[in-house]
Chains A and B, each alone.
Chain A
């Protein structure tokens, strides 16, 4: 059975990969057909990225057990260079571009187009880069530095870089995680075009809708093991909703409801924002948030729906102690009393808490333990005359570990040892301990797995049941529809609509989110 069926471009057999103390992969099998788009799904920490690192030679041959058969030949990659020579190219989740180099320089980094004598052939570099940019549908000059481009465009440059290497098997690790819907759609289109050109793609993604749309087959990985491969279309496809089918495979159980039930009893108004206007911090005169008005009541979850760049995060951060923007005007009230938080400590004192969309960069001190992350925003409350009451701190951390169900052997463990979902619970605990009146949650479930999402929703429900006011920013419309009472839509810095969740539909929201200048 050494011979691979010619229709399969890749077969990984019995892959086992152990790290000291942990079995990351156990007897994983993966078969990819030539020319298909193959999705890989699994909860965070299931082993998807590890499997792709084995495939691409990041973990060299010999550090794992099992066989990789590529194009019918055994593959023993010692490094990424080896795998790229065989046409296997991986695009990692974190973009690996040099911000100060041009698009063309980035595309050919490590693979420079040279003239005799080793000097770089700039004409060829820029010309070939322009061709590659056209193939990925990016209208930019090759000489533009990467730093001025948005995340979506940077992702396309990564892809251009990949196809510059004669790729036959393209691996994308959560390519759309940071992209807005338009950019994601463009990227998926691109994958379909590549498919037509004979390039096989393996895509890791958490976005099930996207997978259902594009994948030919989906392999599910759970706890380091390959569970099953599902045919996504054609006669072999399972009955019923594909997304529910995948979720069932991922969590190994039925998730009856993706969003927990909640009785909604909104009380009096807690937060009121009037005519809130924010200008761009460096670009003179550019309005980022334009006369926004909104209210949140006690015991109410209010959503803000908007595409990336609509000003969602900017609105939240400018409210949170002017952490973003300049020339901020407008009024904000908490419990009817006007507040003017000029700094983060002011905002915290006014009863506002802001949970950032990027917990690793803005939410946590990763090298510090769970306990100290939880106390980080409320040290003043835990201290007397400048000295921290550490017993109290430890006690408080233990209580949150209990009430938020933070899965860690101890609160003295560094947070970078925790999974994404548990890290997010630590961030939430940190803000809850400031005893806020209003919680602004910016993408509270980004990058965490299905099971943990459910837990976060449950926590949100518990908070509003206790009478807190919660403002949720999310780019996932089903999520907003699942957990909110009311949803504001934000487009180009303006609030374009306010919809009660009972009457809201994804299509209706999307129309409001893309609504340009209204007079």
Chain B
């Protein structure tokens, strides 16, 4: 029976992939019960998106760095620095909001190029370069801000983090626009899945049985539309979610389908083999870090817009959240393995846990302990899974 075989396959063969989704669902269910349903309420879901978006944005860049076999410890400082630059331009110099955004992105790119240069062309391990960067860019943040917070940002700038699309297409108590956008997204996803399935069949590759394929699509569609409904009945579609959605889509494409993405996997998987296969390793490493600088800047803009201020201590320890998201999401410490989607789910697992525990009134200290244990268990699971895989070899 092919149907049974594929169901078994779904759980055993890709445990590494499916395990984290199962964990994600379990954690959501757990905290929904523990918070008496507040976790999944419209207001809370909207808050969750706003509150953790910048960590997810950082995790996109971080997972690429980790797949490439590196690490970036400096992103928290870079978030602060780019936010500070934007604040100086917009608040102190009184320039328009978009000049601030451009200045922040420019700063991020420069920071990325700086770190990429040392990692790729001088050959210093990323751990050292970015540890130095963590101090360096925090120091520069203090310099730029003269040790004081700058606030508030004009409302055009803050809107980046707290703006909503609501009522564009009307609706009675719910926002039709939000639902339409999500509907289009689901249709696109379904079409793409169907096309891939067709392609795989035409090349005689194994696919899951048709009923499971449909069932999977229906379940995903139902969950996503329910999520959209929650947003639509709250404040509408957050602008940040659109930014995040576009980034996730774009970077999923880049990591999966672009030559650059493939080269990142190749370098992380086997550096020497990549080099001898004609991968321009230095160049790829350099651009990996430039990209991380860019995404740090985006996160920095969202972060500063959300707090409507640039603070010297902003973004402290954010790098650890981003790194944790990647590893919980199945990235390998040794490089070569990881996905953008995985990192997003990893980040959301952390987000749901923090948020859920906060709703329950659990103390910060306990939250830290729980998060630490979850990270440890996630990687332990990964190690165990690898051993299991090599035992069946």
Is B266 interfacial (CB 8 A cutoff)?
yes
Is B25 interfacial (CB 8 A cutoff)?
no
Q: Which residues of A contact B392 (CB under 8 A)?
A: 19-22
Picked from B258, B259, B388, the residue with its CB within 8 Å of the CB of A380 is: B259
Q: Which residues of A contact B391 (CB under 8 A)?
A: 19-20
Knowing A19-B391, A387-B257, the reply to whether A345 touches B274 (Cβ < 8 A) is no
Once bound together, how far apart are the Cα atoms of A34 and B205, in whole Å?
54
Is B276 interfacial (CB 8 A cutoff)?
yes
B277 x A344 contact (CB < 8 A): yes
Is A166 interfacial (CB 8 A cutoff)?
no
Picked from A20, A344, A347, A386, the residue with its CB within 8 Å of the CB of B259 is: A386
Is A334 interfacial (CB 8 A cutoff)?
no
A365 x B336 contact (CB < 8 A): yes
B203 x A391 contact (CB < 8 A): yes
A362 x B273 contact (CB < 8 A): yes
A379 x B270 contact (CB < 8 A): no
B269 x A368 contact (CB < 8 A): yes
Is B365 interfacial (CB 8 A cutoff)?
no
B277 x A361 contact (CB < 8 A): no
Q: Which residues of A contact B360 (CB under 8 A)?
A: none
Q: Which residues of A contact B272 (CB under 8 A)?
A: 361-362
A367 x B269 contact (CB < 8 A): yes
| Bitwise interface map of A from 409 to 427 toward B, beta carbon under 8 Å scored 1, else 0 | 0111000110000000000
Q: 8 tightest A-B contacts by CB?
A: A365-B269, A377-B277, A345-B278, A365-B270, A344-B278, A376-B277, A20-B392, A383-B259
Chain A residues 340 to 387 lying within 8 A of chain B, measured CB to CB, are: 343-345, 347-348, 354, 356, 361-368, 372, 375-377, 379-380, 383, 386-387
Knowing A19-B391, A366-B269, A391-B199, the reply to whether A379 touches B274 (Cβ < 8 A) is no
Knowing A20-B391, A417-B393, the reply to whether A387 touches B275 (Cβ < 8 A) is no
Q: Which residues of A contact B278 (CB under 8 A)?
A: 321, 343-345, 347-348, 377, 434
Once bound together, how far apart are the Cα atoms of A17 and B95, in whole Å?
74
Chain A residues 475 to 492 lying within 8 A of chain B, measured CB to CB, are: none
Name the residue in A19, A365, A386 with the highest tally of chain B Cβ atoms < 10 Å from its Cβ.
A365
B393 x A368 contact (CB < 8 A): no
Is A143 interfacial (CB 8 A cutoff)?
no
Is B280 interfacial (CB 8 A cutoff)?
yes
Is A185 interfacial (CB 8 A cutoff)?
no
Q: Which residues of A contact B159 (CB under 8 A)?
A: none
Name the residue in B200, B272, B280, B337 with the highest tally of chain A Cβ atoms < 10 Å from its Cβ.
B272
Once bound together, how far apart are the Cα atoms of A375 and B266, in whole Å?
11
B257 x A394 contact (CB < 8 A): no
B262 x A372 contact (CB < 8 A): yes
Chain B residues 254 to 310 lying within 8 A of chain A, measured CB to CB, are: 257-260, 262-263, 265-266, 269-270, 272-280
Name the residue in A361, A366, A367, A434 with the highest tally of chain B Cβ atoms < 10 Å from its Cβ.
A367
Q: Which residues of B contact A367 (CB under 8 A)?
A: 269, 332, 336-337
Is B146 interfacial (CB 8 A cutoff)?
no
Q: Which residue of A lies closest to B199 (CB)?
A: A391
* Distance from A355 Cβ to chain B, minimum over Cβ atoms (Å): 10
Q: Which residues of A contact B269 (CB under 8 A)?
A: 365-368
A368 x B336 contact (CB < 8 A): yes
B276 x A344 contact (CB < 8 A): yes
Is B204 interfacial (CB 8 A cutoff)?
yes
Q: Which residue of A lies closest to B200 (CB)?
A: A394
| Bitwise interface map of B from 109 to 120 toward A, beta carbon under 8 Å scored 1, else 0 | 000000000000
Q: Which residues of B contact A365 (CB under 8 A)?
A: 265-266, 269-270, 273-274, 336
* Distance from B352 Cβ to chain A, minimum over Cβ atoms (Å): 30
Once bound together, how far apart are the Cα atoms of A348 and B278, in whole Å?
7
Q: Which residues of B contact A380 (CB under 8 A)?
A: 259
Once bound together, how far apart are the Cα atoms of A391 and B263, in whole Å?
18
Once bound together, how far apart are the Cα atoms of A365 and B273, in whole Å?
7
Knowing A379-B262, A380-B259, A417-B393, the reply to whether A363 touches B273 (Cβ < 8 A) is yes
B277 x A410 contact (CB < 8 A): no
Is A398 interfacial (CB 8 A cutoff)?
yes
Is A430 interfacial (CB 8 A cutoff)?
yes
B205 x A394 contact (CB < 8 A): yes
B270 x A366 contact (CB < 8 A): yes
A386 x B260 contact (CB < 8 A): yes
Is B4 interfacial (CB 8 A cutoff)?
no
Chain B residues 334 to 358 lying within 8 A of chain A, measured CB to CB, are: 336-337
| Bitwise interface map of B from 199 to 224 toward A, beta carbon under 8 Å scored 1, else 0 | 11001111000000000000000000
Number of A-B contacts (CB under 8 A): 98
The interface on chain B, measured as residues whose beta carbon lies within 8 A of the other chain's beta carbons, has a size of 32
Once bound together, how far apart are the Cα atoms of A365 and B336, in whole Å?
9
Is A390 interfacial (CB 8 A cutoff)?
yes
A343 x B273 contact (CB < 8 A): no
| Bitwise interface map of A from 6 to 49 toward B, beta carbon under 8 Å scored 1, else 0 | 00000000000001111000000000000000000000000000
Chain A residues 197 to 238 lying within 8 A of chain B, measured CB to CB, are: none
* Distance from B393 Cβ to chain A, minimum over Cβ atoms (Å): 6
Once bound together, how far apart are the Cα atoms of A388 and B259, in whole Å?
6
Once bound together, how far apart are the Cα atoms of A32 and B284, in whole Å?
55
* Distance from A94 Cβ to chain B, minimum over Cβ atoms (Å): 15
| Bitwise interface map of B from 238 to 265 toward A, beta carbon under 8 Å scored 1, else 0 | 0000000000000000000111101101
B206 x A410 contact (CB < 8 A): yes
B259 x A323 contact (CB < 8 A): no
A387 x B205 contact (CB < 8 A): no
A379 x B205 contact (CB < 8 A): no
Knowing A345-B280, A356-B276, A379-B262, the reply to whether A390 touches B336 (Cβ < 8 A) is no
Q: Which residue of B lies closest to A376 (CB)?
A: B277
* Distance from A376 Cβ to chain B, minimum over Cβ atoms (Å): 5
Is A395 interfacial (CB 8 A cutoff)?
yes
Q: Which residue of B lies closest to A323 (CB)?
A: B276
B273 x A361 contact (CB < 8 A): yes
Once bound together, how far apart are the Cα atoms of A379 and B263, in whole Å?
9
Q: Which residues of B contact A356 (CB under 8 A)?
A: 276
Q: Which residue of A lies closest to B196 (CB)?
A: A390
B393 x A394 contact (CB < 8 A): no
Beyond known contacts A386-B259, A387-B259, A412-B206: 18 more, CB 8 A cutoff = A19-B392, A19-B393, A20-B392, A22-B392, A356-B276, A361-B272, A365-B265, A365-B336, A379-B263, A380-B259, A383-B258, A383-B259, A388-B257, A388-B258, A388-B259, A388-B262, A411-B205, A412-B205
Once bound together, how far apart are the Cα atoms of A194 and B391, in whole Å?
35
Once bound together, how far apart are the Cα atoms of A140 and B155, in whole Å?
76
Picked from A343, A386, A412, the residue with its CB within 8 Å of the CB of B258 is: A386
Q: Which residues of A contact B275 (CB under 8 A)?
A: 323, 344
A354 x B276 contact (CB < 8 A): yes
* Distance from A66 Cβ to chain B, minimum over Cβ atoms (Å): 20
Once bound together, how far apart are the Cα atoms of A382 and B393, in whole Å?
31
B266 x A368 contact (CB < 8 A): yes
A-B contact pairs, 20 of them (CB 8 A): A21-B392, A320-B276, A321-B278, A323-B275, A344-B276, A344-B278, A345-B278, A348-B278, A356-B276, A362-B272, A362-B273, A365-B336, A368-B265, A368-B266, A376-B274, A379-B259, A383-B259, A394-B205, A395-B203, A410-B205
